[in-house]
Structure 1
Amino acid sequence: MNWLAHILLSEPNVENRLGNLLGDLVKGRDLDRLNYELRRGVARHYAIDKFTDNHATVRTSKQRIDREYGKFAGILIDVFYDHLLVKNWDLYSDRSFADFTSEIYNSFQNYPGEIPQVAKEVIERMIDGDWLSSYRDLAGVEHALNRIDVRIQARMGDRIKLATAMPILEREYSNLDRDFNAFFPELQAHLSTWQHPEFPARSRVG
């Protein structure tokens, strides 16, 4: 799942939501430096990803992606599913989408704790660019794919041009929408009984 879903599936507090995003942004020893509540959010992020990656319906969605995208099919489905989450928002949240995103941005901006600078900069760009709302329409989805493409190139050297997959979303729209609405309630149900792992309240980094 991509960022919008991760935030919605968090516990309803700023540190769990931030931690859920930091699961994508923070690695190695920086994870150990996070406070207890942020690490609980990171653990929830990993649980969401594990359930999603092993789900048969998600595998079906990935098979709808043309083979030329290979290992990036999962990334495309993550983004397409965030778009479908906005489309079906009223099925999965009692809050209006506008109120929800406004609360998220305000709470992130006013968070008094410390997070790694590189993550802070990405989150500031997310807020300034209103990335969460960008999933509302296909133009925003395309913009999100271009943004991810830049990150992939910087990290891995691959320039796959993910935005060229937009015709697949349009072609498979009804199938992917059906997949998403079969899968997402099961993910919500899984998280309702999932238990966070136990770890020390604060780890020490030598």
Structure 2
Amino acid sequence: MNYLAHAYLSFNHPQVLVGNMISDYVKGKKQFNYSSEIQAGIRLHRDIDRYTDVHPKLKKAKKIFESELGSYSGAFIDIILDYYIANDESIFKSDKELQFFAMSCYEILEKNEQVFPEKFARLFPYMKTQNWLYHYKDDNGIQQSFRGLTNRAQYINKNHQGYNIFLNYKNEMKFIYQEFIKDVRAFAWQKFQENLHS
């Protein structure tokens, strides 16, 4: 899952949020350099990623994109899931509520900049100034995220039709999301509690 999903699945716990957001940039035993609550967030992120990799609904989603995006289909689906979370009125009842959530996340992260791994420290200013967490809400934001991922991907056809596939399968992807989010939220809540108290 992508940044907005991991922020949402931190369940409003500031230190878990920090760990969840930096997890991909913390390798090996370096996780033990952090406070217990940040470590809980790092572990939670990894638990969520392992869960999503094997979830049958997301396997179905990957098949929609695989012919065009190959092994990168999962990364593009992560971005798409953020789109549906941002537009899910059971999570964010209004545009203003999503904006407030995004700003709150940036504020928490900014207060913890001293613990950022180098790569996340370079990335975070762009996340904040371009308001990534909010801009997953609209089609243009998704298109920009797709473009950024395409530019970073080494082995991908730079002229792929991933965005058009997303537009063509929007309704089907929404149904997949609605089935998946209930499962991942319940799983993440359980792991959130386990990781905080382990």
Structure 1 partner of 2:117: 116
Are 1:61 and 2:61 an aligned pair?
A: yes
- What TM-score do the two structures reach when normalised by structure 1? 0.85
Kindly provide the amino acid, as one letter, of the partner of residue 17 in structure 2.
Answer: R
Are 1:187 and 2:184 an aligned pair?
A: yes
Would the aligned equivalents of 1:146 and 1:163 in 2 still touch at CA under 8 Å? no
Q: What SS class does the counterpart of residue 52 from structure 1 fall into?
A: helix
C-alpha RMSD of the superposition = 2.2
Q: What SS class does the counterpart of residue 196 from structure 1 fall into?
A: helix
**How many residue pairs end up in the alignment?**
194
Distance in structure 2 (CA, Å) of the matches to 1:198 and 1:151: 37
- What TM-score do the two structures reach when normalised by structure 2? 0.88
Are 1:196 and 2:186 an aligned pair?
A: no
Distance in structure 1 (CA, Å) of the matches to 2:149 and 2:37: 27
- Give the 3 Å change call, closer, same or farther, for CA 162–124 of structure 1 in structure 2: farther
- Percent identical across equivalent pairs? 22
Distance in structure 1 (CA, Å) of the matches to 2:159 and 2:116: 29
Would the aligned equivalents of 1:145 and 1:162 in 2 still touch at CA under 8 Å? no
Kindly provide the amino acid, as one letter, of the partner of residue 109 in structure 1.
Answer: E
Consecutive unaligned residues in structure 1, runs of 5 or more: 200-206
Q: CA deviation at 1:3?
A: 0.7
Structure 2 partner of 1:177: 174
Deviations 1:142-180 (A, max 9, x none): 11122223333xxxx324438731000000000000000
Larger helix share, 1 or 2: 2
Q: CA deviation at 1:182?
A: 0.7
- Give the 3 Å change call, closer, same or farther, for CA 45–74 of structure 1 in structure 2: same
Deviations 1:103-137 (A, max 9, x none): 11112122365222322221222111111112111
